[in-house]
Amino acid sequence: MNDKKKCILLLLIFIFSFLAVRLQILTSRIFLTQWEELYSGTITREILKGLKMPLFDYQPKPFLGGPLIYGIIGVPFFKLFGDSYFSLKLIGLTFSLGSLIICFILINKHFGLKAATLTSLLFIFSPPLYTETTLTSWGSHLDSIFFSLLTILTFFQIFFKRQEDPSKDKEYNFFSLFFFGLISGFSIYFSYMCFYSFLTCLFFWYIFDKKFFLRKYFLIYCSSILIGFSPWLYYNITHSFRGIDIIAKQGIEGTVNRIDFFAKLIRYFSFDLSYILNFPQIKIPGIPNFRYFYYLILLMSLFFVTWESKDTFKKIFKTLVSVQKKHRISSVEICKESFFIVAFILFTLIYLFSGFETLLADIDPLVGHRYIIPLFPIFFIIIALFISKLTDNKKTIKKIFGYGILIILLILGAFSNSRIGYREGMTYFDLDGFSYTTLALHTYYRFGNDFKKYVEQGEKMDPDYKHFYYLGLGKIVNGRGLVWEKGFEEYKIFEKWISKIDIIYQSYYYEGIGFGVGEDIVYNQYKKPFFALNKIPGKKRYYAYLGVVRLLEEKKLPKTNIYELIKVIDRKYRKFFYPIWGKEVLEKSADFEKTIAFVEGLEKEEKEGVYKGLGIKLFSRSDFDINRFTKIIEPFPKNSRGFLYESAGEEVGFLNKNHISRIQDIIHSLSESEKQSVYKGIGRFAAERYGFSFKKYSDYIQEIAPRYRVYCYEGIGAQIALRFGGNPEAANLIINELPVNIRPSIERGFAEELT
């Protein structure tokens, strides 16, 4: 087998292995749901359903084109596989696979097949954070890796293949230079995170030819950069050049603040770099965290490659300080490994001088350390070059050491990746790959203080999901002009625009406000949130407290004390919080007897709500298997079963929202009364899912047998009472618009909820 065929065969093996490892994770569990991913999926759905505004208005931020590009690329995935979260994840997986292929080609062409093989293995069996990264579709920090590697590969193909003086224009291939500029410009439009690779390439180009910017070929490069960068130019010309804000606010602020710089420098090398190499899934008593082992190997590799490149760095230094033409370096004089050391240094300097920083260790590193995740491919390449040199050494001890390091790193990666995941029993097929809430969260970037457009955009949204848009709008407005008046006077007019929309959508808007202004509650700090909530007019305040509940469901911390919170809340709002209290009760005690005794001692309203919370928690512990759930709740009193099954029914509805016909088979083993409670829960879910739109939730439950459909309507009525019970006029308006034949069931559920 010749070398070319061997390379192709190896690459195919690596592609298959990469996909096998990633798809096994992606199809069997859920490890992260993140609203920034869902934004790209929402763009995809809007393209398929028909754009409600100009395409570039969907770009979330002036400096970030990646999510828009992801939204466009996602169209074939949504067409082929539907609009589930799985389809959205495939976009990130495709880009990550592309990164692996580009990296293999780059290293194979310029460092040999062995180094390319080692790099690919480190890509496939990587630390779990990078594995999660390859399955994340943010269109930003994580996905910039693809464009950075493509830029570097193109640069290597142009400049490190040359044997002569690089100042000779005729030696440059026009199309190669044009493509290099095109991908350089487009990568920076896609994400500013690609800037380090662009800067590294320019640095080496300068080293090769100090007057390159005076050459004719540089004009070709600049022209193609402008073409690649043209989406950024178009967006910012039509949006007041807001993309420059990120440079002014983040870059300059970070540079000026020298104290922060040195603090970041220490944290960067003492904690951040090792933290992204963490293996939290591996816990062996008496053995410290393996991230320090991986970090030690990385530091050794950096030192080794730097030492091997010391002559190159001497030449580079002489070239930089000299004005003489003879000190220009030809590409054949350069140790190519030095490129990746310089790339690491420039990335580090850009990060340290910027206003961005990593977050605390108790925040998921995929979110908290996103800004330094693009370093992973640089790390893999440098470690692979180090191991390759060790295993090529004639001394047996060095060979053993090199292969030993490789085996340990691959075992760590393989074992950790097999244990990624925190929510068994659910997969990404069960979740939507879009969220209209996220579409609202970027309205300020698009429209500034033109509040009329906020509402105009909302009224154009798909009616199925319009209520979620207004929920997001409430989150982003966050009480400005309503509860926070000083400094936000221009927001006061927004209340006028919101008052014109349907009462159902208003309820979601004020729920979003409650979510935002209640933020400090998760830290057990009540003064500021309750001050804000109490400034919201009475009927609207009712919806805002629903937002606080949503906040706790999404962001509750282990230290958040729900019981203490309930004690300080006005009694008429407490019922919203009882289910969350139920979850907390179960978290604090695994003893069912004690839990049951505690709950049975509560008042009627408290008891019902707490049992619903217990039902949600226990159904989750049952891996969302209704038969396992039935066995788990056997010790609970019979009079509590209805509440337990009703809350489980909400989860059943959620998990099967796209497969309603499966529900009958899922719950066929339950008794009639248990089924009735489950269908009530499904009705509650349907009401919220479709924003109380009769046509939509009726279509949703149409496949349910008629004898059980009545219980779904009772659940819908109960949910109307829960959301609109504080505004009887609105509740009556909604019920009175319903068809006469279903109204009795709705009213029965409504009355039961209020008693």
| Tens digits of residue pLDDT in 77-122 | 999 999 999 999 999 999 999 999 999 999 999 999 999 999 999 9
Q: Count Cβ atoms below 10 Å from residue 435 Cβ, excluding itself.
A: 25
pLDDT of residue 472: 94
pLDDT of residue 164: 43
Residue 510 has pLDDT above 50, yes or no: yes
pLDDT of residue 623: 86
pLDDT of residue 170: 46
Angstrom distance (rounded) from CA 88 to CA 82: 9
Place of tokens 């009705």: 683
pLDDT of residue 255: 46
For residue 273, give both structure tokens: 């770099």
Lowest-confidence range among 28-42, 324-338, 522-536, 578-592?
A: 324-338
For residue 367, give both structure tokens: 């979110």
pLDDT band at 53 (very low <50, low <70, confident <90, very high): confident
Tell me how far the alpha carbon of residue 236 is from its chain's centroid: 25
Amino acid type, 421: G
For residue 393, give both structure tokens: 């050494």
Q: What is the mean pLDDT of residues 329-348?
A: 91
The residue ranking higher by pLDDT, 316 or 388, is 388
Lowest-confidence range among 250-254, 551-555, 715-719?
A: 250-254
The sign one gets for the Cα dihedral 138, 139, 141, 143 is positive
Angstrom distance (rounded) from CA 498 to CA 452: 9
Number of alpha carbons in the 13 Å side-chain half-sphere of residue 78? 23
Angstrom distance (rounded) from CA 476 to CA 490: 15
DSSP 354: S
CA angle 36, 38, 39 (to 5 degrees): 65
Angstrom distance (rounded) from CA 528 to CA 479: 12
DSSP 429: G
Residue 247 has pLDDT above 70, yes or no: no
Residues 6+ apart with CB under 8 A from 535: 479, 482, 483
Place of tokens 């943010």: 138
Tell me how far the alpha carbon of residue 202 is from its chain's centroid: 32
pLDDT band at 482 (very low <50, low <70, confident <90, very high): confident
Please tell me whether residue 30 adopts helix, strand or coil conformation. strand
Contact 254, 263 (CB under 8 A): no
Angle between helices 538-555 and 503-517 (to 10 degrees): 60
For residue 14, give both structure tokens: 């690596």
Angstrom distance (rounded) from CA 180 to CA 172: 12
Residue 246 has pLDDT above 60, yes or no: no
Q: What is the mean pLDDT of residues 62-87?
A: 92
Lowest-confidence range among 214-223, 416-425, 575-584, 739-748?
A: 416-425
Angstrom distance (rounded) from CA 312 to CA 305: 11
Residue 171 has pLDDT above 70, yes or no: no
Contact 491, 480 (CB under 8 A): yes
pLDDT of residue 119: 98
Residues 6+ apart with CB under 8 A from 274: 291, 292, 294, 295
Q: What is the mean pLDDT of residues 465-469?
A: 94
Compute the mean pLDDT over every residue in the chain, rounded to the nearest whole number: 88
pLDDT band at 329 (very low <50, low <70, confident <90, very high): confident
Most confident of 114-128, 159-173, 228-242: 114-128
DSSP 530-565: HHHHHTS-HHHHHHHHHHHHHHHHHH--TT--HHHH
Angstrom distance (rounded) from CA 107 to CA 114: 9
For residue 732, give both structure tokens: 């009556």
Most confident of 89-93, 488-492, 601-605: 89-93
Tell me how far the alpha carbon of residue 165 is from its chain's centroid: 47
Start-to-end CA distance of the chain, whole Å, equals 80
Angstrom distance (rounded) from CA 62 to CA 241: 8
Angstrom distance (rounded) from CA 283 to CA 184: 43
Contact 753, 714 (CB under 8 A): no
- The pLDDT > 70 percentage for the chain reads 93
Buried b (16+ CB within 10 A) or exposed e, 361-373: eeeebbebbbbbb
Residue 287 has pLDDT above 80, yes or no: no
Most confident of 155-169, 193-207, 489-503, 578-592: 193-207
The residue ranking higher by pLDDT, 420 or 75, is 75
Q: What is the mean pLDDT of residues 302-324?
A: 88
Residue 627 has pLDDT above 90, yes or no: yes
pLDDT band at 324 (very low <50, low <70, confident <90, very high): low
Buried b (16+ CB within 10 A) or exposed e, 582-602: bbbbbeeeeebeebbeebeeb
The sign one gets for the Cα dihedral 80, 85, 86, 87 is positive
CA dihedral of residues 120, 70, 72, 188 (deg, nearest 10) = -90
Q: Exposed (0-12), middle (13-18) or buried (19+): which is 639, by Cβ within 10 Å?
A: exposed
Place of tokens 């190669």: 176
Q: Count Cβ atoms below 10 Å from residue 2 Cβ, excluding itself.
A: 6
Angstrom distance (rounded) from CA 302 to CA 295: 10
pLDDT of residue 163: 45
pLDDT of residue 256: 45
Angstrom distance (rounded) from CA 14 to CA 103: 12
CA nearest to 70, candidates 143, 132, 149: 143
DSSP 210-255: TTGGGSHHHHHHHHHHHHHHHHHHHHHHHTTTGGGHHIIIIIIHHH
Q: What is the mean pLDDT of residues 242-252?
A: 55
Place of tokens 């180090």: 386
Amino acid type, 444: Y
Contact 656, 662 (CB under 8 A): yes
pLDDT band at 690 (very low <50, low <70, confident <90, very high): very high
H helices present in 330-486, as ranges: 338-353, 365-368, 376-392, 396-417, 436-440, 443-447, 451-460, 466-477
pLDDT band at 355 (very low <50, low <70, confident <90, very high): confident
pLDDT of residue 562: 92
Residues 6+ apart with CB under 8 A from 60: 39, 67, 68, 442, 445
pLDDT band at 662 (very low <50, low <70, confident <90, very high): confident
Residues 6+ apart with CB under 8 A from 356: 250, 254, 371
Q: Count Cβ atoms below 10 Å from residue 274 Cβ, excluding itself.
A: 18
Q: What is the mean pLDDT of residues 301-306?
A: 96
Angstrom distance (rounded) from CA 190 to CA 147: 8
Between the CA of residue 445 and those of 55, 64, 492, what are the distances in Å?
15, 11, 19
For residue 534, give both structure tokens: 């109490």
Lowest-confidence range among 360-369, 625-634, 698-707?
A: 360-369
Q: What is the mean pLDDT of residues 195-206?
A: 94
pLDDT band at 492 (very low <50, low <70, confident <90, very high): confident
Q: Identify the bridge partners of residue 480 per DSSP, sorted by sequence position.
A: 484
Q: Count Cβ atoms below 10 Å from residue 178 Cβ, excluding itself.
A: 18
Most confident of 2-16, 294-308, 439-453, 696-710: 294-308
pLDDT of residue 330: 79
Residue 279 has pLDDT above 80, yes or no: yes
Please tell me whether residue 60 adopts helix, strand or coil conformation. coil
Contact 546, 723 (CB under 8 A): yes
For residue 677, give both structure tokens: 């409670």
pLDDT band at 138 (very low <50, low <70, confident <90, very high): confident
Residue 450 has pLDDT above 90, yes or no: no
Residue 679 has pLDDT above 50, yes or no: yes
pLDDT of residue 169: 42
Q: Identify the bridge partners of residue 61 per DSSP, sorted by sequence position.
A: 64
CA nearest to 147, candidates 105, 178, 116, 185: 185
pLDDT of residue 540: 92
Residue 243 has pLDDT above 90, yes or no: no
DSSP 61: B
pLDDT of residue 591: 82
Residue 678 has pLDDT above 50, yes or no: yes
